[in-house]
Amino acid sequence: MPNNITIDKTALLSRLRSLGDIGRNADGALTRLAASDADKQGRNQLVAWFEDAGLEVCVDRIGNIFGIWKIESEIAPLMMGSHIDSVINAGIFDGCYGVLSALSVIEAMKSGGVKPDRPLMVAVFTNEEGVRYTPDMMGSLVYAGGLDADEALTTVGIDGTILGEELSRIGYAGEMEPGDIVPSAFIEVHVEQGPVLEVEGKLMGAVANLQGIFWQKVTIRGVANHAGTTPTRLRTDAGLAAAKVITYLRGLVDNSDSVATVGTIEFGPNVINVIPDFAKFTVDLRDPDLAVWETRQAALVNFLAELEKSDGVTIETEQLARFEPVVFDENIVQMIEEAAAEQQFSCRRMTSGAGHDAQMMARICPTAMIFVPSRDGISHNPLEHTEDEALVAGTKVLLDTATRIVTGS
């Protein structure tokens, strides 16, 4: 890549901080929920930056914003981006980094005299976090054709609002039909939101796939009895059965790429000297490989069935969520690895443990992601942090990868 094509680090980092100041409450906590007033302010700021960069701005019916560097071409655009909505009491990097990084890349290409063979687009997807409106990754899901736009627009939020009305209110109910422009490729840069890069001392992740996510609620029913007068052989202990599931799950995934988490639990009647007659808990089970992931789910089903027999309990399960694993485009992943190698950035192939807009875009075009380290693996938290050098490095790799694609080099 020619040396005169460089990222404007100062602009990138100062925009990240500026955008991170939009949506702060009196205590300084950052919350920029989808289609809220704070989101409107953030969107307005982005649109201003897009226009300053000479990009054409268009908005689709689900509120996704696109900043387009128009190029006359037969080739479909290269799209880059992420989201700027946040969780409650958020950090400043999640999503915003991917959007501003993409903007910096286009600016660098423009000022460096790159002649792309196709248009370039920065995408800002609506409601990735899913805090105010369910499901999460909604804007990209609609864009990829996985959810009807009209249906999505009628979604009622946790505050009783309707997404479509809120988008109109904040001025981001656009006219473009979601999915009208099918990109030739999509690349999303993101903070890792996990500890792997930091622990391994790597600066960069070439994200080759994304875990399937399975969420289940499990209710085990036993018999409440006196903790002193009921001999062990006469117990039907729902709490013990739940503990067996938790330890089983760890054994199931240990030394594999799968992860399993029991994050919530409740016993009833929850009294010190009464054997629990129910235990309710949730299972979060993930794996990047579809077959492995489904095998794990089936193993859990079998284990619960055996537990009903061995422990005399009854077990009900309810599926709360299920997103299949996504495999990203091998060509783009290799280009990312090559770009990192050329810059002498330490890099590892990796799996995304969290969900991202890229997993939706992968349905309609070749897609991949670039990760940079998250300090202590922390995200969705004001302590979310990535070093400036890593932020710039990730953007350089995106620039290099995008340049390879749009110049055929």
Residue by residue, DSSP assigns 19-46 as HHTTTB-TT--B---TTSHHHHHHHHHH
Q: Does 195 bind a second copy (CB under 8 A)?
A: yes
Residue by residue, DSSP assigns 226-284 as BTTTS-GGG---HHHHHHHHHHHHHHHHTTSS-EEE---EEEES--TTB--SEEEEEEE
Of the residues 242, 300, 326, 392, which one makes contact with a second copy according to CB under 8 A: 242
User: 22 near 16, Cβ under 8 Å?
Assistant: no
User: 210 near 358, Cβ under 8 Å?
Assistant: yes
Of the residues 271, 298, 341, 383, which one makes contact with a second copy according to CB under 8 A: 271
Instruction: Show contacts with a second copy in window 323-382 (CB under 8 A).
Output: 352-355, 377, 379-380
* Cα Dmax for the chain: 83
* Closest to a second copy by CB, 32 or 286: 286
Q: What is the CA radius of gyration of the chain?
A: 24
Of the residues 85, 94, 129, 237, which one makes contact with a second copy according to CB under 8 A: 237
Q: Does 246 bind a second copy (CB under 8 A)?
A: yes
The mark string for 142-181 relative to a second copy (x by CB under 8 A, - otherwise) is: ----------------------------------------
Q: Does 202 bind a second copy (CB under 8 A)?
A: no
Of the residues 19, 120, 213, 397, which one makes contact with a second copy according to CB under 8 A: 213
Of the residues 234, 290, 298, 301, which one makes contact with a second copy according to CB under 8 A: 234
User: How far is residue 146's CA from residue 137's CA, in Å, rounded to a whole number?
Assistant: 11
CA-based nearest residue to 5, from 116, 97, 96: 116
Q: Classify residue 58 as left (phi > 0), alpha (psi -120 to 50) or beta.
A: beta
Of the residues 14, 25, 111, 264, which one makes contact with a second copy according to CB under 8 A: 264
- Tokens describing residue 5: 């094509």
Size of the site for a second copy (CB under 8 A): 58
Q: Does 320 bind a second copy (CB under 8 A)?
A: yes
- Tokens describing residue 221: 């029913």
* The one segment of 24-32, 162-170, 262-270, 295-303 that binds a second copy by CB under 8 A: 262-270
CA distances in angstroms from 399 to 110, 259, 386, 391, 394, listed in the order given: 11, 33, 19, 12, 9
User: 125 near 81, Cβ under 8 Å?
Assistant: yes
Residues 6+ apart with CB under 8 A from 102: 80, 81, 82, 122, 123, 189, 398
* Closest to a second copy by CB, 223 or 364: 223
CA torsion through residues 68, 69, 72, 76, sign: negative
Q: Does 276 bind a second copy (CB under 8 A)?
A: yes
Pairing of strands 367-372, 204-210: antiparallel
Of the residues 155, 193, 395, 401, which one makes contact with a second copy according to CB under 8 A: 193
3-state secondary structure of 320: strand
The mark string for 278-317 relative to a second copy (x by CB under 8 A, - otherwise) is: ----x-x-x-------------------------------
* The one segment of 67-75, 132-140, 152-160, 191-199 that binds a second copy by CB under 8 A: 191-199
Of the residues 47, 275, 372, 406, which one makes contact with a second copy according to CB under 8 A: 275
Q: Does 192 bind a second copy (CB under 8 A)?
A: yes
Backbone angles phi, psi at 86, to 5 degrees: -135, 170
Minimum CB separation of residue 228 from a second copy in Å reads 3
Minimum CB separation of residue 129 from a second copy in Å reads 12
Q: Does 230 bind a second copy (CB under 8 A)?
A: yes
* Closest to a second copy by CB, 125 or 371: 371
* Closest to a second copy by CB, 7 or 210: 210
Minimum CB separation of residue 272 from a second copy in Å reads 4
10 Å CB burial of residue 146 (0-12, 13-18, 19+) is middle
Instruction: Catalog residues that contact a second copy under the rule CB under 8 A.
Output: 192-196, 199, 211, 213, 215, 225-232, 234, 237, 239-240, 242-244, 246-247, 250, 253-256, 258-259, 261-267, 270-276, 282, 284, 286, 320, 352-355, 377, 379-380
